[in-house]
Chain A
Amino acid sequence: MSAHRRPRPAADRDSAAWWEALRRHEFLLQRCADCGVLRFPAREVCARCRSFTWSWIPARGTGRVVSWVVTHHAVHPAFADEAPYTVLHVALDDAPGLFCHGGLTGAAPGGLHPDLPVRAVFTDVADGTPLLLWRPEPAQGPH
């Protein structure tokens, strides 16, 4: 275990409730009350209709791989023990144009490809910081 502390999420006033939900292992999106558009990351205003009225809704928790990076040179000392590590750029299934980054879990980067289905996995690191990771979905066989 690295002696260096992992960077903790620095929630802002828009995102505090999102991080609180993640601690409960809930992945939330915002839904505009006026035009219905979904958004992430957290913001108070709708970029489509400029309404400030919205609610939290549960995300599906699934997405598709767009791209990824395999980091060998730990850019922060807290990750030295984890390198090489893979971070995915995932397109959320909830709505077009919504993306979420997250670590890869349960698979090696060699098996990644565009449009690979992935599912959100919640984990808590030692100090209680919640993380949203992505695990490739098992291939769907005929039922």
Chain B
Amino acid sequence: MGDGGRALSEAAAIAGIGYTPFSRDSGVSTTTLACAAILEALADAGLGADDVDGIATHRVGDSAPPWVVGPALGIDDPHWYLDQFGGGSVSHAVIGQAAMAVATGMATTAVCYRAINARSEFRPGGQGRAPVGAFDLQYQAPHGLLAPVQHYAVAARAHMLAYGTTREHLGHVAVTQRANAAANPRAVKRDPIGMDDHLASRRIAEPFGLLDCCLETDGACAVVVTSAERARDLRHPPVDIAAAAWGGGHSAYSSAARGPAPPPHANLTTSSAARLAPRLYAMAGLGPRDVDVAEIYDCFTWTVLVQLEDYGFCAKGEGGPYAASGATRLTGELPVNTHGGFLSEGYVHGINHVAEAVQQLRGEAGERQVPGAEVALTTGQPGHVLAGTSALLLTAGR
């Protein structure tokens, strides 16, 4: 949809980002986390809460909704708000929707946030708290198949069986990202790890060990979306939203079998990102070769490998060897998860990938800066659990 996409990139930009500290116990409510991150993001942009007329988040019953956070900040009459159901699959869709709201004039300045006490209150995989709204769960829960780590382990094993992907391939993701986190003061885990540490880490759900899994984190992150024109007058160089895409997919069950041939989602080794990527790139008029830095959703190591394939950076099945080649290091041809990702920086369910991409495109990432980064891909959960995915292509504005 070339023309529509061009319209979006000329219309909406990210003008500010904000974080709370990331921790294992924030000691405060998700409302407090959300407000703190939003105020940081507004200050970063050089704006105040009175400039905001749009507010958006995503959650699965685990966080303060916009109709609580808005009034808490004195935003009494937002022109546009979004309370999106979902976890990491919709993390980037929220920002894409805000870009649409700004592009159409529904809002002039929108704040997008994700606030979660994912370690101290709402552990996604640690206490048998099932994913909300998972239709398939009734057939899985009685077998003890309950957590995303297990579903992704099934998919990762299928990839190993089909392509020879190994535990060491997964390890390259974890080791590289931890090395990146050493240069990120915000990261929860900064102590270096080696391949031996990865391979020896406690087994969680084979083929995954502990160091294949993201950190359960308390924290919040926020992003300010405004018009590209307005963003040019603010504190930082704007980051343009060159493309946004999100969409459905299928879970691991054939909930829409259409026979007689296997449905396109039957192959566990390909994610929903493979169907989304072409329209994302087309909207921006860019391709994978144009991407300078990629912040790829890493709830587990394997999701990085499958997305390297499905976003077109290497051939299908080659994600493991591609990561092992060093290509995804800070000094490689495609630096990936420059902040350490969810595996090392912390897991606030997607949006901190966007904030890192913004820092890279502004050239303010310090020791972990990718020189001359002008195009960033940042992605949501690739599917398989609640099945959809979302992604953004961001470009350095001028």
Docked complex: B103-150 residues within 8 A CB-CB of A: 125-128, 130, 135-147, 149-150
Docked complex: A4-56 residues within 8 A CB-CB of B: 6-12, 15, 37-41, 43, 47-48
Are the CB atoms of B259 and A68 closer together than 8 Å?
no
How far does the Cβ of B271 sit from chain A's closest Cβ, in whole Å? 14
Are the CB atoms of B144 and A97 closer together than 8 Å?
no
Are the CB atoms of B256 and A41 closer together than 8 Å?
no
Q: For chain B, what secondary structure do more than half of its interface residues adopt (helix, strand, loop), or is it mixed?
A: loop
Are the CB atoms of A82 and B144 closer together than 8 Å?
yes
Are the CB atoms of B146 and A15 closer together than 8 Å?
no
Question: Does A106 lie at the interface of the complex (its beta carbon under 8 Å from any beta carbon of B)?
Answer: no
Q: For chain A, what secondary structure do more than half of its interface residues adopt (helix, strand, loop), or is it mixed?
A: loop
Are the CB atoms of A7 and B158 closer together than 8 Å?
no
Question: Does B7 lie at the interface of the complex (its beta carbon under 8 Å from any beta carbon of A)?
Answer: no
Which residues of the other chain, A, contact B257 by a CB distance below 8 angstroms? 37-40, 47-48, 95, 97-98
Are the CB atoms of B147 and A97 closer together than 8 Å?
no
Which residues of the other chain, B, contact A135 by a CB distance below 8 angstroms? none
Which residues of the other chain, A, contact B268 by a CB distance below 8 angstroms? 66-67, 89
Which residues of the other chain, A, contact B155 by a CB distance below 8 angstroms? 67
Closest to A12 in B: B138
Question: Does A121 lie at the interface of the complex (its beta carbon under 8 Å from any beta carbon of B)?
Answer: no
How far does the Cβ of B109 sit from chain A's closest Cβ, in whole Å? 41
Q: A99-B252, A103-B143 are in contact. Are A73 and B262 (CB under 8 A)?
A: no
Are the CB atoms of B150 and A96 closer together than 8 Å?
no
Question: Does A120 lie at the interface of the complex (its beta carbon under 8 Å from any beta carbon of B)?
Answer: no
How far does the Cβ of A74 sit from chain B's closest Cβ, in whole Å? 7
- Assembly CA distance A71 to B157 (angstroms): 13
Stretch at the interface among B16-24, B202-210, B218-226: B202-210
Question: Does B72 lie at the interface of the complex (its beta carbon under 8 Å from any beta carbon of A)?
Answer: no
- Bits for B203-237, please: 1 = Cβ < 8 Å to A, else 0: 11110000000000000000000000000000000
Closest to A100 in B: B139
Docked complex: A68-86 residues within 8 A CB-CB of B: 68-79, 82, 84-85
Which residues of the other chain, B, contact A78 by a CB distance below 8 angstroms? 128, 144
Which residues of the other chain, A, contact B135 by a CB distance below 8 angstroms? 12, 41
Are the CB atoms of A89 and B252 closer together than 8 Å?
yes
Are the CB atoms of B158 and A102 closer together than 8 Å?
no
Are the CB atoms of A48 and B138 closer together than 8 Å?
no
Closest to B148 in A: A75
How far does the Cβ of A59 sit from chain B's closest Cβ, in whole Å? 13
Are the CB atoms of A76 and B258 closer together than 8 Å?
no
- Assembly CA distance A29 to B259 (angstroms): 14
> Which among B149, B260, B263 has the greatest number of chain A C-beta atoms within 10 A?
B260
Which residues of the other chain, B, contact A125 by a CB distance below 8 angstroms? 142
Question: Does B187 lie at the interface of the complex (its beta carbon under 8 Å from any beta carbon of A)?
Answer: no
Which residues of the other chain, A, contact B266 by a CB distance below 8 angstroms? 91, 96-97, 99
How far does the Cβ of B68 sit from chain A's closest Cβ, in whole Å? 29
Are the CB atoms of B150 and A75 closer together than 8 Å?
yes
Which residues of the other chain, A, contact B139 by a CB distance below 8 angstroms? 9, 41, 100-101
Docked complex: B249-293 residues within 8 A CB-CB of A: 252-263, 266, 268
Which residues of the other chain, A, contact B154 by a CB distance below 8 angstroms? 67-69, 87, 89
Question: Does A114 lie at the interface of the complex (its beta carbon under 8 Å from any beta carbon of B)?
Answer: yes
Question: Does A118 lie at the interface of the complex (its beta carbon under 8 Å from any beta carbon of B)?
Answer: no
Are the CB atoms of B203 and A7 closer together than 8 Å?
no
- Assembly CA distance A84 to B143 (angstroms): 12
Question: Does B351 lie at the interface of the complex (its beta carbon under 8 Å from any beta carbon of A)?
Answer: no
The 9 closest A-B pairs by CB, nearest first: A76-B128, A47-B256, A7-B141, A67-B158, A70-B206, A37-B259, A79-B144, A69-B153, A97-B262
Apart from A89-B158, A99-B266: 9 A-B pairs, beta carbons within 8 A: A40-B257, A47-B257, A67-B161, A68-B157, A69-B153, A89-B252, A96-B259, A97-B261, A98-B257
6 A-B interface contacts by CB (under 8 A): A71-B144, A73-B202, A75-B126, A75-B146, A89-B154, A101-B143
> Which B residues lie at the A interface, using CB under 8 A?
125-128, 130, 135-147, 149-151, 153-155, 157-158, 161, 202-206, 252-263, 266, 268
